[in-house]
Amino acid sequence: MEEWQPKQYVRRVAVVGCGVAGLTAIKACLEEGLEPHCFEMNSDIGGVWYTSDSPKPGGGPQMYDSLITNISKAMMCFSDFPCPPHYPPFLPHKLFQQYLHSYAQHFELQKHITFNTKVLEVAKAEDYITSGRWTVTTTKVQADKQTEEKTTSEFDAVILCQGFYRVPHSPHVPGMKEEFKGKIHHVDSYKNPQDFRDRTVIVVGSASSAGDVACDTAPVAKQVYLSVHHGAYTISRLVNGRTPWDFLLRRVTLNYVPRSLAHRVMVAKASKWLDPVSSGLKPKPSQPRSQNNFIVNDQLPFKIMTGQLKVVAHIEKLTGNAEAHLEDGTVLREIDDIIFATGYKHDFSVIDPSFLSSEPESEKLELYKMTFPLSLPHDTLTLLGCLRANGPIPPLLENQARLAARVISRKHKLPERSMRRHDVDLINSQQLERHGCLKYAFQYLDIADNIATELGIKPNWWHFCLQGDVKMALAVLLGPAHPFHYRLVGPHTWDGARDAIFSAYRETVFATQHRKVAIEEGKERGGSGELRWLLWMVLSLLGLCLAWLCL
């Protein structure tokens, strides 16, 4: 006789956007038995990683030809899908887009995506109060143009994955609009340096885009100036010439080392790569430590050392005779172009912004775990990626997606509203304290582990100790916090996680070795790497205990 099975209630979920967040949201919905329908206005997946020769229909930042990820492949991948061993440690953007395609193919995500379809509005369904359902209005995008035809459908839940930093932010500089005759650009539309040949260019900003574009234009331009406001420290992608910098993102540092000490170590490492004083990049002393920017850039030292790039002060005004007057009194002459690499603003155009904050006109957001709007009575609308972090973004988006799908499928219940309110208020006050504004910029592991704790996927080192798995306990506490850690415990663990964790160092660092190199006996670096790594971790633990005793 056939066994009776309860009829499963399939919940239709609209996923808006198919960048990294949208892809991982589709995958998480499928894992939870939901039915995802993803709408993407471009004709391919990838979001910012998707490049095409024609402008993208909805705008948004795009990758310049020379872009290389500033996060290593072993940190920037999804938790159950490592990058192939033959990929280099840091990926040119086209290779990361290729990785996203393999992810979509492997988990059969493509069939859940409708391309060339723009979501115009997400609104409460008529019976929202009782059902928590949403209506989603879409239109077709053809040859980069919207059609007039609109379609509206109902969904049980919506996951917004639009890439919320889409609108270019350019500060107003006195004289810029009224007097200055040169060209003004935003890095948003920068592709390659060809338009800047033999021109005098000022790049404004002191973060990743500014550093990259200044270095990219420097060899062809007549002169490039990098105009910085608060300044920044610069680190190389590799520390000690071989280990990716992000392998320093470890739970031991986050949870057991005073932040001031960790910051000092980073500053010391950065100062060895590019002296902040002689380069002129040093952050202003008035800037609190928590607001210091670290640029990951391997070319800045060379461009500065060879005079192709000059770091200068903040621009105070621009004049009609092509001059830029700087904060320190310097005047730069014959300026042809200004490229603003000054970031992006939020774009919440498809929803009513009052869902997100009790002060919709301000920059304040009230999102539990930066994912669930506090104001809504049902947990059926979620946002992924409305935050910044000093580490890999894809695994962070994946944690948000897994939590969203678990809650939508009603397999996980969020805490009471009063507790959520407390959590949200705490985040907002911490942001103000750390950054002086609501930037929603987090320490990567802080926020990734915080979301993982809510979902029950954060591995605890003592949990492995109790099970007698000392090697894994040490890896979780002292090793790099690879995304694979989030597949060791809780819902939807992955059998390959252990192997991925212990092979990540070898597969990342030695991916660059294409020629066999004679190594002195006893100093072999590849095969015995795991043992040496374990030893290193035990020594760091002892060192840490000693440091605590001495303090």
Ligand X SMILES: NC(=O)c1ccc[n+]([C@@H]2O[C@H](COP(=O)([O-])OP(=O)(O)OC[C@H]3O[C@@H](n4cnc5c(N)ncnc54)[C@H](OP(=O)(O)O)[C@@H]3O)[C@@H](O)[C@H]2O)c1
Residues that bind ligand X (CB under 6 A): 67-70, 171, 187, 204-210, 212, 229-230, 293, 341-343, 388
- Shortest separation between residue 464's beta carbon and ligand X, angstroms: 32
- Shortest separation between residue 343's beta carbon and ligand X, angstroms: 3
Contact 141, 149 (CB under 8 A): no
Nearer CB in complex with ligand FAD: 82/163: 163
First to last CA, the chain: 70
Selection from 492, 498, 496 nearest residue 476 by Cα: 498
Residue 118 touches which of ligand FAD, ligand X, none (Cβ within 5-8 Å per kind): ligand FAD
Paired tokens of 256: 């057991």
Q: Exposed, middle or buried, 101 (CB in 10 Å: 0-12/13-18/19+)?
A: middle
- Shortest separation between residue 352's beta carbon and ligand X, angstroms: 26
Nearer CB in complex with ligand FAD: 71/455: 71
- Shortest separation between residue 71's beta carbon and ligand FAD, angstroms: 4
| Of the candidate residues 82, 89, 163, 483, the single one contacting ligand FAD (CB under 6 A) | 163
Task: Determine the size of the site formed for ligand FAD (CB under 6 A).
Answer: 35
| CA of residue 375 relative to chain centroid, distance | 26
39 binds ligand FAD (CB under 6 A): yes
Q: Binding marks (x or -) toward ligand FAD, 328..367, rule CB under 6 A?
A: ----------------------x-----------------
Contact 29, 53 (CB under 8 A): no
| Of the candidate residues 34, 76, 215, 281, the single one contacting ligand FAD (CB under 6 A) | 76
Q: What is each CA distance from 316 to 203, 279, 375, 417, 466, in whole angstroms?
A: 14, 21, 41, 47, 60
- Shortest separation between residue 392's beta carbon and ligand FAD, angstroms: 4
Ranges assigned E (strand) in 156-242: 157-160, 165-168, 183-186, 200-204, 223-227, 232-235, 238-239
- Shortest separation between residue 63's beta carbon and ligand FAD, angstroms: 6
48 binds ligand FAD (CB under 6 A): yes
Residue 204 touches which of ligand X, ligand FAD, none (Cβ within 5-8 Å per kind): ligand X
Residue 279 touches which of ligand FAD, ligand X, none (Cβ within 5-8 Å per kind): none
297 binds ligand FAD (CB under 6 A): no
Q: Regarding beta strands 337-340 and 200-204, do their DSSP bridges make them parallel or antiparallel, or are they unpaired? A: parallel
- Shortest separation between residue 190's beta carbon and ligand FAD, angstroms: 9
89 binds ligand FAD (CB under 6 A): no
- Shortest separation between residue 147's beta carbon and ligand X, angstroms: 32
Residue 338 φ/ψ, nearest 5 degrees: -120, 125
- Shortest separation between residue 70's beta carbon and ligand X, angstroms: 3
For the chain, how are helix, strand and coil distributed in percent, rounded to 5? 35, 20, 45
Selection from 245, 240, 174 nearest residue 208 by Cα: 245
Q: Regarding beta strands 200-204 and 183-186, do their DSSP bridges make them parallel or antiparallel, or are they unpaired? A: unpaired
Nearer CB in complex with ligand FAD: 7/111: 111
* Burial 128-157, CB ≥16 within 10 A → b, else e: beeebbbbbebbbbeeeeeeeeeeeeebbb
| Of the candidate residues 63, 203, 475, 481, the single one contacting ligand FAD (CB under 6 A) | 63
**Three-class secondary structure of residue 434 per DSSP:** helix
Q: Which range binds ligand FAD by CB under 6 A, 11-19, 198-206, 235-243, 277-285? A: 11-19
Return residues touching ligand FAD (CB under 6 A): 16-22, 39-42, 47-49, 58, 60-61, 63, 67, 69-71, 76, 118-119, 161-163, 209, 350, 385, 392-394, 397
